[in-house]
Structure 1
Amino acid sequence: MDSFTGLHRAGDPLLLPNAWDHACARALAARGFRAVGTTSLGVAAAAGLPDGAAATREQTLRLALVLGSEPFWLSVDAEDGFSDDPQEVARFAQELYAVGAVGINLEDGLGPAGRHAAKIAAVKAAVPGLFVNARTDTHWLGDGDLPETLRRLDAYQQAGADGVFVPGLTDPDRISALVGALDVPLNVLYSPTGPALDRLTDLGVRRVSLGSLLYRRALGAALDAVADIRSGRPPRGTTPSYGEVRALSGADGPGAPGGKVRPPAPCPPARPW
């Protein structure tokens, strides 16, 4: 099936790179990635705002508006939905879907599992076609308790989540245990010190996200380049030309193969800008 959901395959997981602006997303699509996510850290840092503090609702929606019409599947990192009210989260999900997003990532931040499940249920009721990736932070912010992780993930899949996400989970045995216990695709965050992509594939993971890694690597590359120049050396690494970067904003610039086909959002709300 040629759909975003269909990209979550056992034996051939979705490798999802995460962008923070239009040029980055188009460049990734030009490298053959049919789906691109956004990174909340990159969006927040680029705007001078804190990540994970519900401060970037407008910036997140604006980026979705820019990327949603591009010829790749777009999944949006929406922190916790920018509200504790499930109906407010559902309205935000409708806005994302209306501008072209096909997926949303919602994190529990170790808040009440029941509240997060209610958000998931509200989003699925309002926008059934939106792929909800429900994240639990038991391994990211907590102590990695496996029974608690399973309890939360089960609540989220029962609420209608299309996939579940456990950033910070790198132990192969725990990954395998979760895969065996879940009815929906497991998403893990790639770690340079964790299992490689082929190992994650063997374990049954069906989605591997890069999170803020590319943004942090880009920032590191900028610092390395200026250090090289200051030291009298030409900067190392890949440097796209001015023309190549400019082309990324053009209507005939590089894109991903294939297109997106999905029904329009029900009763799209007015945009808040």
Structure 2
Amino acid sequence: MPDQQAKFEKLKALHQTESAFVMPNPWDAGSARLLASLGFQALATTSAGYAFSKGKLDSIADLQRDEILDNAAEIVGATDLPVSADLQDGFGAAPEICAETIRLACWVGLVGGSIEDATGDAGDPIHDLSLAVERVQAAAEAARGLPFLLTARAENFLWDRPDLDDTIRRLQAFSAAGADVLYAPGLPDLQAIRTVCAAVDKPVNVVMGLAGPTWSVAELAQAGVRRISVGGSFARAALGALMRAAEEVKTAGTFTYAAQALPGATVARIMAPGGEGV
């Protein structure tokens, strides 16, 4: 199995190419092995997917650092691929808490992770820029010398604050504070994505699979994107398949859904020790 430094170098190199790569988001060890079997080069955790699997909401209030890191450790242990983590708000407003989160994330084998500027408070959803920058700076200082790629997230567009200029200011400040990758989920169109990518000096991550318009990997790469994630959308797609199958059985009393299910032999091959998922 590659060591942590080797995984970090692989993840870092993926961001330095001229094309975009997809880093999908498993929510447990099994989904991680399945995605690895398809040839993806890196994975990222999803707080939303994990929350759904535990019957919880994807919220800062409902998810604790220990459980998120335990879930990440399971995913890290399931494949040889580099894994980055959704570390939400760093699990605390104070910069020193963000720094501790980065150190703990690295300790469980993660080679990357994101810190966002959302507060979890619907009445005041985004940290003031000065504190947001201090948090990223503390996280970057904690990551210095460790095999860890830090992503900084500007959350304006997820919290009904569609201010592109402020989002760019934040991403630029996060880059100056030491972030390695920049991420503004929920950008409304390709022009906004192009504007962000042209305005910053670090690789940009874009999330696909949210409600609204979608673009291809080729279109996003042409706009300047270097990394594409899917957030909790693969988990929601899996839940959608479960819902449709269960509704068919409940309402029609039929079982045609089984024709679309993965064959047991395929699942066994992916999940077997030393199988395709590694």
The unaligned stretches of length 5 or more in structure 1 are 257-273
| Contact preservation (8 Å) 1:18, 1:37 | yes
Equivalent in the alignment of 1:259? none
Task: Name the SS for the 1:174 alignment partner.
Answer: helix
Equivalent in the alignment of 1:126? 142
Equivalent in the alignment of 2:85? 76
The unaligned stretches of length 5 or more in structure 2 are 1-5, 119-125
Asked whether 1:197 is paired with 2:197, we answer no
TM-score by length of 2: 0.85
| Contact preservation (8 Å) 2:15, 2:203 | yes
2:241 alignment partner, one of 205, 221, 243? 221
Equivalent in the alignment of 1:162? 180
Equivalent in the alignment of 2:68? 60
Task: Name the SS for the 1:18 alignment partner.
Answer: coil
How many pairs align? 256
| Contact preservation (8 Å) 1:136, 1:166 | yes
State how far apart, in whole Å, the 1-side matches of 2:225 and 2:12 are. 14
Displacement of 1:85: 1.7
| Contact preservation (8 Å) 1:121, 1:159 | yes
Matched to 1:44, the amino acid is: A
Displacement of 1:45: 2.0
Displacement of 1:42: 1.1
State how far apart, in whole Å, the 1-side matches of 2:130 and 2:165 are. 16
Equivalent in the alignment of 1:28? 35
TM-score by length of 1: 0.87
| Contact preservation (8 Å) 2:205, 2:229 | yes
| Contact preservation (8 Å) 1:170, 1:194 | no
Evaluate the alpha carbon distance shift between residue 194 and residue 241 of structure 1 in structure 2; reply closer, same or farther with a 3 A threshold.
closer
Evaluate the alpha carbon distance shift between residue 53 and residue 117 of structure 1 in structure 2; reply closer, same or farther with a 3 A threshold.
same
State how far apart, in whole Å, the 2-side matches of 1:23 and 1:10 are. 29
Task: Name the SS for the 2:150 alignment partner.
Answer: strand
| Contact preservation (8 Å) 1:163, 1:185 | yes
| Contact preservation (8 Å) 1:43, 1:59 | no
Task: Name the SS for the 2:33 alignment partner.
Answer: helix
Identity of aligned residues (%): 30
Displacement of 1:142: 2.8
Q: What do the CA deviations read for 1:34-70 (whole angstroms, capped 9, x no partner)? A: 2011111111222233322242312211112212233
| Contact preservation (8 Å) 1:103, 1:132 | yes
2:198 alignment partner, one of 180, 194, 198? 180
Q: What do the CA deviations read for 1:10-56 (whole angstroms, capped 9, x no partner)? A: 54212111011000011000100120111111112222333222423
2:105 alignment partner, one of 79, 96, 103? 96
Pick which of 3-12 and 162-171 moved more: 3-12
